[in-house]
Amino acid sequence: MSTVIREHKEPLIRISKRTHISRPRAWGIRAIALVLALAVSGLVIFAIVKLSPIKVYGAMFQGAFGTAKRSWATIRDTMMLLCIGIGLAPAFKMKFWNIGAEGQALVGGIATAACMIYFKSLPTPLLFLVMIICSVVAGCIWGLIPGVFKAKWNTNETLFTLMMNYVAIQLTSYFVAKWENPPGSNSVGIINPQPTDHAGWLPSLFGQPYLLNVIIVLLLAVAMFIYLKYSKHGYEIAVVGDSENTARYAGISVKKVFIRTMALSGAICGVAGFLAVSGASHTISTSTAGGRGFTAIIVAWLAKFNTFVMILISLLLVFMEKGAIEIASRYHLNDYASQIITGILLFFILGSEFFINYKINFRRKHD
């Protein structure tokens, strides 16, 4: 037995998995992460641009909530992001990687714009009905195509949905060229701009142009929460997401659930496109979705598909975006400065999940 025996010291740091953590403690860790993120961003701001972090944070707040108009813009964009997040929730809960919300929202927007242009003479209630149906159907089809292909031929949905975005963008370019107004501007311009007309514009409520957006999206949030948590469909989605084998064992048709859920996911993203065109910009361009289809993926995952938590996260992300624009113009920084802050913030928030799931053990003191 020629075993070489070596003395080892106990490792300085060991990581072990937590089996349980109380809810207040988990939120405590997240709060610490937020404070740390603000502190680190402050240091970075000071080190790079020699500005007082407090002033910069103040300016960001001004950018997002400085005036009533700004507050409403922040709320409007939050709702748009939230709406797409709600659309993604069932797909991601099913572990179906729908990266195509951008395209699904865009085709919803195209359908809405088309209705506003071609059916503007319809009576208002009928026009809205047609607009909503068209945008829902458009988004639905855009979600169904990858869903059906996945169910029938097991294609990779990540690539498929991603590529569907580019098709939607090209389609939008085509319609922008077709509906160009005025000619040569390379844009559609505001559709039905005369105040007496405004056909297909989502009406103001209590003098607030975006209040209806808020109501529609919050209703969707509540409905989706209930759908996922209490309905039979929601249960099927959860089972398929956890284990397709278990789903088959229980007699759930995995194909049917794939197709049905992607139709729903696309349809809600289509509604987001409707809100963007009819309820916000009143025009259509390739940037109507503005990358929110991708940002919403972060929203859905961070909230773990809980649509109420999504409200908070959407608000945080839009707040950062608005703040970025403000500090960029006020301090002549470019908006990378704020993207750095957003990055630091997300790093700490995501990083805090590690400390919620794992425990760090330090070396014991001997003797």
Residue 7 carries which side chain, given as an amino acid letter? E
Pick out residues in 7-36 that bind other proteins (CB under 8 A). 7-11, 14, 16-20
* Contacts with other proteins, 209-248, as mask; x by CB under 8 A: ---------------------xxxxxxx-xx--xx-xx-x
CB of 199 to other proteins, least distance (A): 36
CB of 234 to other proteins, least distance (A): 8
249 binds other proteins (CB under 8 A): yes
Would you put residue 304 in left (φ > 0), alpha (ψ -120 to 50) or beta?
left
CB of 3 to other proteins, least distance (A): 4
Q: Are 101 and 189 spatial neighbours (Cβ–Cβ below 8 Å)?
A: no
**CA dist., res. 317 & res. 295, Å (int):** 8
264 binds other proteins (CB under 8 A): no
Tell me the backbone φ, ψ of residue 12, rounded to 5 degrees.
-65, -45
Q: Are 271 and 139 spatial neighbours (Cβ–Cβ below 8 Å)?
A: yes
**CA dist., res. 286 & res. 175, Å (int):** 10
Residue 208 carries which side chain, given as an amino acid letter? Q
* Contacts with other proteins, 189-208, as mask; x by CB under 8 A: --------------------
* Residue 154 Cα to chain centre, angstroms: 26
Residue 66 carries which side chain, given as an amino acid letter? G
Tell me the backbone φ, ψ of residue 154, rounded to 5 degrees.
55, 45
Q: Are 114 and 245 spatial neighbours (Cβ–Cβ below 8 Å)?
A: no
Residue owning tokens 């608005």 = 322
Nearer to other proteins, 241 or 279 (CB): 241
CB of 218 to other proteins, least distance (A): 21
Nearer to other proteins, 335 or 353 (CB): 353
**CA dist., res. 260 & res. 110, Å (int):** 23
Instruction: Report the residue count for the chain.
Output: 367
Nearer to other proteins, 42 or 241 (CB): 241
User: Beta partners for 13?
Assistant: 362
Pick out residues in 325-364 that bind other proteins (CB under 8 A). 361, 364
365 binds other proteins (CB under 8 A): no
Instruction: Give the torsion sign (CA, 127, 129, 132, 136).
Output: negative
CB of 40 to other proteins, least distance (A): 30
CB of 241 to other proteins, least distance (A): 9
CB of 61 to other proteins, least distance (A): 39
User: Segment near other proteins (CB under 8 A), from 5-13, 31-39, 101-109, 266-274?
Assistant: 5-13
Torsion from C-alpha of 130, 132, 133, 136, nearest 10 degrees = 150
CB of 203 to other proteins, least distance (A): 31
CB of 23 to other proteins, least distance (A): 13
**Residue 313 contacts by C-beta under 8 Å, 6 or more apart in sequence?**
85, 298, 299, 302, 303
How big is the site for other proteins, counted in residues (CB under 8 A)?
A: 38
DSSP string of 101-133? HHHHHHHHHHHHHHHHHHSTTS-HHHHHHHHHH
Site for other proteins, rule CB under 8 A: 1-11, 14, 16-20, 230-236, 238-239, 242-243, 245-246, 248-253, 361, 364
